[in-house]
Amino acid sequence: MDLSQKDWTEKLSKDNNSVVLDVRTKEEVNEGIIPNAVHIDIYRGQGFIYEVDELDKTKNYYVYCRSGGRSAQACAVMNKLGFKNTYNLVGGITEWQGEIAFLDQ
């Protein structure tokens, strides 16, 4: 499901069964990540599918990328794998108004 920044953050803030999933490349993640996000690069192809399939399907996934395109694809893949609740951040991290964390290199 596509959600605006406002709806995505509101829903996430009230969800105690949530996982934030970043599907960007490692290089993009090095530029900053939404705090506590799990990173799985969608460009890993089958590797992405294997890793995502290991995740807990009972949780709600808040998925983002740079602008919202890859995360929409990731949500579609996850739905096919049996995930019930995936939420795509429209506009991605490019339009993100919240906190940004930087991973130790």
The answer to whether residue 68 sits within a structural domain is: yes
| 78 belongs to a structural domain | yes
In a domain, 104, yes or no: no
Position 59 in a domain: yes
Q: Please count the structural domains in the chain.
A: 1
The catalytic residue positions are: 65
Task: Note the pLDDT tens digit of each residue in 6-25.
Answer: 999 999 999 999 999 999 99
pLDDT tens, 33-64? Answer: 999 999 999 999 999 999 999 999 999 999 99
Average pLDDT, the chain: 96
By residue range, what is the domain housing residue 39?
2-95
70, part of any domain: yes
Confidence band, pLDDT 50/70/90 cuts, at residue 105: low
Residue 9 lies in a domain: yes
With helix as H, strand as E and coil as C, how does 33-63 read? ECCCCEECCHHHCHHHHHHHHCCCCCCEEEE
CATH of the domain at 68: 3.40.250.10
